[in-house]
């Protein structure tokens, strides 16, 4: 009977050791999981910040390109209007002179 009792104590001690080791491993796994989660969050935040910066830079670049394109089109329109004004300047001067000369005749 005593042998059975000793065997039960030994089995119980082994069971306690297994439980203790399992608990220790579970704590280690939980700690490692927490560390990995923190790394993932940090990496995710860095990735999100980088993507946001890229998006901001791309938006600025597109806005600058659009502004430059509009400026180029406005400059072309201005040149065209100046050409039209210059072509009509002689007619306008002549018309003004005709009005002045007509007024002087009266």
Residue 8 CA to residue 14 CA, distance in Å, equals: 10
pLDDT higher for 101 or 82? Answer: 82
SS3 30: helix
- Write the pLDDT tens digit of every residue in 36-76: 999 999 999 999 999 999 999 999 999 999 999 999 999 99
End-to-end CA distance of the chain: 150
Q: What is the mean pLDDT of the chain?
A: 92
Domain boundaries, position 95: 1-106
State the Cα angle at 46 between 40 and 37, rounded to 5°: 10
Give pLDDT, residue 91.
Answer: 86
What's the domain count of the chain?
A: 1
Residue 100 has pLDDT above 80, yes or no: yes
Residue 94 CA to residue 102 CA, distance in Å, equals: 12
pTM of the model: 0.54
């Amino acid at each position: 009977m005593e042998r059975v009792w000793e065997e039960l104590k030994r089995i119980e001690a082994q069971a306690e050791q297994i439980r203790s080791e399992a608990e220790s491993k579970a704590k280690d796994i939980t700690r490692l999981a927490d560390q990995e989660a923190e790394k993932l969050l940090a990496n995710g935040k860095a990735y999100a910040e980088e993507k946001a910066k890229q998006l901001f830079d791309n938006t600025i670049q597109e806005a600058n390109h659009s502004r430059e394109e509009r400026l180029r089109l406005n400059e072309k329109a201005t040149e065209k209007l100046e050409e039209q004004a210059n072509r009509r300047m002689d007619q306008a001067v002549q018309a003004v002179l005709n009005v002045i000369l007509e007024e002087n005749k009266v």
